[in-house]
Amino acid sequence: MRVKLLLFILSIFFILSMSRNKETLYCERCGLTFKNLNELLSQRCEKALEGPYLNRHKLYEGTEKEMYTCKYCGYQYKTIRLLTSLKCIKHPDGEYKGDHAPEL
């Protein structure tokens, strides 16, 4: 139990340290942008895995890029928001059964 708590605390510190180095934070699932980590983690995401608005946004831990690539099919889009708004032909759940997901 103590090990899990310690790992959780260390992961929070890691995420906080990463977020200080970025100008903008992104949700990996929906592509919305946020100014700080508290804002990102306090709001519910329309593309949460459990269902729309049933869970919080997920921090995109990759770097900012000119083009974002889908980790399933390799297609590229200019923003994470656009990438995650479209269905992916090579999604693991089946053709067009899920959205594109950004590579880190």
Q: Which residues pair with 69 in a beta bridge?
A: 76
Q: Which amino acid is at 100?
A: H
Q: Which amino acid is at 39?
A: E
44: left (phi over 0), alpha (psi -120 to 50) or beta: beta
Q: What is the pTM of this model?
A: 0.72
- pLDDT score, position 49: 85
pLDDT digits (tens, 9 = 90+) for 36-91: 999 999 999 999 988 889 999 999 999 999 999 999 999 999 999 999 999 999 99
